[in-house]
Amino acid sequence: MKTTTLLEKEFQYDGKGPELDRVIWSHGGVILKGFEYYNPGKASKEDNIKHLKLIGVEAFSMAIEDVHGNILANESSPAAIFKVEDSAWAQQFDFTNLDNCNHYQIVFYNEIYDVLCTEIKSGEGRLLSDMQTVIEQKQVQQ
């Protein structure tokens, strides 16, 4: 299994991952779309909120830190997101229709998400379920 760290400055790890504030869903809570979070060492206040957009999610799993069993984050890395190649978890899926997907592990303070998707984007502020940020929506309305 080979791993690559991603978004080291945007999604930080300092012995624990970012604090998960909210999970973003669509289709009545069926499709995982993204996360809102606070990086370690940042106060849990509105101007520190950041988000991850998950593009093309096909599968995911979530486990708390105590039961996950294969957490990739460690003290030697500032990253809390990993692209994972040749993972046993991803190999359980039929990749016939998943050509553009990759396995990503996203490590929050207490939760670990393993996600098969095409891309992860990061940004500042809140993320709405239609994948616009609050700032983008205000600009469209004006």
Phi, psi of 137 (to 5 degrees): -65, -40
Q: What are phi and psi of 85, to 5 degrees?
A: -105, 140
Q: Per-domain residue ranges for the chain? A: 2-141
Q: How many CA atoms lie within 13 A of 39 on its CB side?
A: 21
User: How confident is the prediction along the chain (142 residues), in pLDDT tens digits per residue?
Assistant: 899 999 999 999 998 899 999 999 988 888 999 999 999 999 999 999 999 999 999 999 999 989 998 999 988 888 899 999 999 999 999 878 788 999 999 999 999 999 999 999 999 999 875 555 555 554 444 5
pTM, 2 dp = 0.88
Burial class (CB in 10 A: 0-12, 13-18, 19+), 66: exposed
pLDDT at 32: 95
Q: What share of the chain is helix, strand, coil (3-state, %, to 5)?
A: 15, 45, 45
